[in-house]
Amino acid sequence: MITWIATGGRTFRNSPDHPAAGAVRSGRRWALAHAIAPATGRSGGGVQVELATVEVRRSALIASSATSTFDLIEAAEHYPSFLPWCANAVILARDDSVVSARLTINYHGLRFDLTTRNPKRPPHWMAIHLERGPFRRFEGEWRVVELAAEACKIEFTLRYEFDHAFVGRFAGGVFDGIANTMVDAFANRAATARVPQERSEGQHSFPTPGKTS
């Protein structure tokens, strides 16, 4: 297996003969509709092709406490109010160590339900485990690193692989776009929800809140 690193923190894994290899190496956008054939099929050149696993890694500095930022990430029932792709969210179960939720994704003509069961260790870590949805693989995690009383860093990792029956629906990178803007959306939400506070004299300064990487 060979790993290609593309711009925007995306990693594509597949065989060295994968038709997407040249596009990724040259920095061009990879269109799933043209780069991936069904797992049981062949590409136009007769090369056996598997569905690729996409890996997204994003981070941001947030001018809010680790606890309030974690609560924002964990509270999936509020996602529809600030995530444009989330049409509905229902909490199925919640306790101190795990939260389960069903999200309805409705974006650019795509609509499906996604159910996850997410182990958590507040206020620093939450995993993402797929229970139901149009993916062969869907897993990730959120990490919240405390920097100061009112500053933290969020780190988001997601690895997903489409179910071959749905590849055509996601052609053009629609879900890729959703995954790559997740951290930006949470950073913006944290900024708008935060009550402005005066910095005390001599307090450490941090890079611009909401700056993502």
Phi, psi torsion values for 186, nearest 5 degrees: -70, -35
Kindly report, residue by residue over 114-135, the tens digit of the pLDDT. Answer: 999 999 999 999 999 999 998 8
Q: What pTM, to 2 d.p., does this model score? A: 0.69
Kindly report, residue by residue over 175-209, the tens digit of the pLDDT. Answer: 888 888 999 999 999 998 864 443 343 444 444 44
Is residue 78 within 8 Å of 109, Cβ to Cβ?
Answer: no
Report CA-CA distances (Å) from 100 to 103, 120, 139, 203.
10, 11, 14, 39
For the cut 80, the answer to whether the pLDDT of residue 36 exceeds it is: no
Report CA-CA distances (Å) from 2 to 66, 98, 114, 161, 164.
37, 35, 30, 16, 21
Report CA-CA distances (Å) from 126 to 37, 38, 73.
33, 32, 9
For the cut 80, the answer to whether the pLDDT of residue 21 exceeds it is: no
Least confident span in 17-21, 45-49, 167-171, 209-213: 17-21
Round to whole Å and give the CA distance between 121 and 142: 10
Domains, the chain: 2-193 (3.30.530.20)
Higher pLDDT, 27 or 11: 11
For the purposes of burial, counting CB atoms within 10 Å of the CB of 182, is it exposed (0-12), middle (13-18) or buried (19 or more)?
Answer: buried
Round to whole Å and give the CA distance between 135 and 145: 29
For the cut 50, the answer to whether the pLDDT of residue 98 exceeds it is: yes
Task: Provide the token pair at 183.
Answer: 């951290």
Is residue 67 within 8 Å of 169, Cβ to Cβ?
Answer: no
In this predicted structure, what is the pLDDT of residue 32? Answer: 35
Least confident span in 104-108, 147-151, 161-165, 176-180: 161-165
Round to whole Å and give the CA distance between 140 and 138: 7
In this predicted structure, what is the pLDDT of residue 134? Answer: 85
